[in-house]
Structure 1
Amino acid sequence: MYKMIKASKLLGLFLVLSFVACKETAKKESASTTEVETAEATYNIPDSWIQKRVDAANKRLSATEAGKVLWSAMEAHGGLENWYSNGYFSFHFDYKPLNGKGIRDSYQTIDTWSNKARHNSITDPSNTYGWDGEEAWVKAKDSTSFEYDTKFWALTPLYFSGQPFVLDGEGVNLELLPEVEFKGTLQKVVKATYDAGVGFAPDDYYILYINSETNLLDAFKYIVSYPEYFPEGGHAPEKITVVQGTTTVDGIVLATGFKTYWSAEAKDGLGEYITDITVSDISFSPTVEDNFFSKPEGAKVLND
C-alpha cells in the first residue's frame, strides 16, 4: 500500500478524464468528432457538516501532544476544512515496484467525505474498479486486466496521497514518539494505530515524520497486515516511504511522488529501495457523474 507517461498512456488518461471523471456540468469532450454529454452529481456537503466534523477532529486531536502535532501538519498541508470542502479528489497514481512485479497504474477519484473510490486503468480506461462504501466491485475484460487485489487497493493510494488528513477520524490512536533526524532535518514523529474492526486491515500502523521546521510530512513508515495476504495473522516487513516533491492544488499541499524502501538500521532508516511512485494529474472537483461510485452494469462484486 515512474517515468514520463508515454503517448499511449496520455491517450488513456485523456479518455478517463473525458468519459469518467467529468469536471463540468453537461461537459462535452471530443476525442475525434464525437461529443459526449454527461449528467453529474454535485458534492453537496453542507458547510455546517464540514465545520462540525473539523471542530470535532480539532477537539479530539488537541487533547494529546501527538494529536497537536498531527493537527499542525494538517494545517501546514492546507487545513482539514479545506480538504473536505474541495470536493472529489482525483489523481493518477503510478505505483512501480522496481522488480517489475505488482505494478498498479490507475486514475482514481475519491470521495474524501465518505471514502468511496473509483479507479480506471491507464492502459485501458474501460477496465474499472471501486468501493461504494459497502461493496468492492470490478469490471474488467479478463483476469489479466488487474493482476492485484483491487478491493485492497481501492483506497490504499489515498493513504499515501491523503496524508496527514486521513488520520483525522475516530478509531485512530496516536502516540508521540521521540524526535529523530531524517535527511539532516529534525522530525516530529507520530505513530497511528487503529481500533479493532476499523478498515480492511486494522492491524496496520503508520509512523509519520513531520518536519519540525515546516510541519509538512517528509516521510512515513508503515506495515501491511491485510488479512487476505496474512490469513494466519502477522504482517509484511516495515517499509518507509519518502515524499519526492510537492505541489499545491486548491490550497492543499500534496506529494507529487514517493520512493519506498525497506526499513533498516541504516542511515535515515533507509534499506533497499523497492518502489517508485509518481502522482500526477491531481485535481479537486465539485461534481462527478451520477452513480459514479456505484457498481456499473456487468461488474462483479468482490466478496470477503
Structure 2
Amino acid sequence: MKHLIKQIGVTALLISTIACKEQKKENEENVLPDPTVVENSVAIPDTWITNRVKKAKERLTASSAGTVIWNSMEAHGGLATWFENGPLGMRFNYQPLEKDKTQRDSYEIVDPWNNRVVHTSTTDKEATFGYTGEIAWIKADSTAFAYDTKFWALTPLYLMGHPFVEDGEGVNLELLPDATYKDKKTKVVKVTYDAGTGDAPDDYYILHFDADTYLLMATRYIVSYPEYFKNGGHNPEKFMEVGELVDVDGVLLPSLLKTHWTVDGMPGEYITKIEISDMEFVSELPEDFFEMPEGAKKL
C-alpha cells in the first residue's frame, strides 16, 4: 500500500509539473511585447562613429585652428563619446532680460549626428515642434510658441554644443590672436560657414578656449537669419559667457550661459540668461521619433 501511495504521489507530481509547464508555455505565448520597451533604432553603428571621428581628427589637426578645436573636443570628453552617447535630452530655458523679448523654454531631444530635433513645450506636452533633418514642422496651436520655431529648432545646439558642432560640413576655422579673459590666456578660433550651409550661413562664432585646459570659456556670435534680416546684415555681436560645466555621461556641457552685448571684444550689458537642465543622453528611441508626426504642419 505504501508503494502504491508513493507511486500515486509521484504520478500526481508529474502530472502537476507537466500541467504547470504547459500553462507557463501558454502564458508565455500570450504575453505581448511591452510597448514602452523600444529598441534604440536611432543608434549609430560603432564603425560609423569610428570612421567619422578619424576623419574629423585628420581634418582638424591639419590646421592650427582645427587643432585647438580638436584639443577642446578631447578636453570636453571626446567627439567619439559625444556621438556614442546618442541623442541629447535637455531643458533649454532662454530668458531675455529685456521686457519686450520673448522667453523660449522647451524640453528637447536633439540628434547631433543627423541634426534632428524634437521640442516639447514645458507647459503643454501636446505642443511640439522640430526638424527632421530636411523638414521643419510644428504641431501646436498658435499661442503655444510665440517665436520662430523653424529658426529655433537647432539654435540651442549651436549655442551650447561647442566645440562638438564644429565637426560638421561647410565649417571654416581661423585662428585669431590669443586674448585674455577673466585673467586667463585664451586661444581664439573664429568659425564661419560655406554659402548654403544651414539657414543662416553668414553667422559666425568666435570661441575663446582656456589656453591651458582647452575648455570653452566664452563665445562671441552674431545672428544673420534672413527672416530677421530680409535685406541682409545681422544683429550686433553678442558675448556669451560659459558657466559651470557638468559631466553628462562623460561629456562636459554647460548648465548656464549668460549673454551680453559685445563691447570692445568683452562682455557689456547683460541681456539674456540661459539655463540648461535635465541633461541626459537618451538611450532608447523609436526609429520614427524624429519624423514629422501625423497632424503636424510643415514650415
Task: Check the 8 A contact 2:95/2:102 in 1, yes or no.
Answer: yes
C-alpha separation in 1, matches of 2:223 and 2:53: 28
**2:66 corresponding residue in structure 1:** 67
C-alpha separation in 2, matches of 1:250 and 1:65: 29
Deviations 1:165-195 (A, max 9, x none): 0011231000000011001111000000000
CA RMSD of aligned residues (A): 1.4
Corresponding letter in the other structure for 1:80: L
Alignment map for 1:223-234 (pairs within 5 Å): 223-234=222-233
Alignment of 1:283 with 2:280, yes or no, is yes
Shift in Å, 1:26: 4.6
C-alpha separation in 1, matches of 2:175 and 2:288: 41
**2:111 corresponding residue in structure 1:** 111
Corresponding letter in the other structure for 1:51: T
Larger helix percent: 2
What secondary structure does 1:259 align onto? strand
- Aligned mate of 1:297, from 290, 294, 297: 294
Shift in Å, 1:43: 3.1
Alignment of 1:213 with 2:189, yes or no, is no
Task: Check the 8 A contact 1:82/1:252 in 2, yes or no.
Answer: yes
Alignment of 1:136 with 2:136, yes or no, is yes
Alignment map for 1:80-99 (pairs within 5 Å): 80-99=79-98
TM-score (norm 2): 0.86
**1:102 corresponding residue in structure 2:** 102
Corresponding letter in the other structure for 1:109: I
Corresponding letter in the other structure for 2:222: I
Deviations 1:27-82 (A, max 9, x none): 7xxxxxxxxx3645433311111011001111111111000011000000000011
May I ask how many residue pairs the two structures share in their alignment? 266
Task: Check the 8 A contact 2:42/2:286 in 1, yes or no.
Answer: no
**1:197 corresponding residue in structure 2:** 196
Task: Check the 8 A contact 2:64/2:175 in 1, yes or no.
Answer: yes
**1:173 corresponding residue in structure 2:** 172
Task: Check the 8 A contact 2:189/2:206 in 1, yes or no.
Answer: yes
C-alpha separation in 2, matches of 1:246 and 1:186: 19
- Aligned mate of 1:271, from 259, 268, 271: 268
Deviations 1:124-148 (A, max 9, x none): 12110000011000011x2111111
Larger Rg: 2
What secondary structure does 1:42 align onto? coil
Corresponding letter in the other structure for 1:159: Y
What secondary structure does 1:50 align onto? helix
User: How many percent of aligned residue pairs carry the same amino acid?
Assistant: 54
**1:123 corresponding residue in structure 2:** 123
What secondary structure does 1:219 align onto? strand
Deviations 1:233-273 (A, max 9, x none): 100110010011110011100000100000002xx611110
Structure 1 pair 164/78, CA: closer, same or farther in 2 (3 Å)? same
**Residue ranges of structure 1 left out of the alignment (5+ in a row):** 1-24, 28-36
Instruction: Give structure 1 regions of 4+ aligned residues with deviation exceeding 3 angstroms.
Output: 37-41
**Residue ranges of structure 2 left out of the alignment (5+ in a row):** 1-32
Moved more, 216-225 or 283-292: 283-292
**1:10 corresponding residue in structure 2:** none
What secondary structure does 1:288 align onto? coil
TM-score (norm 1): 0.85
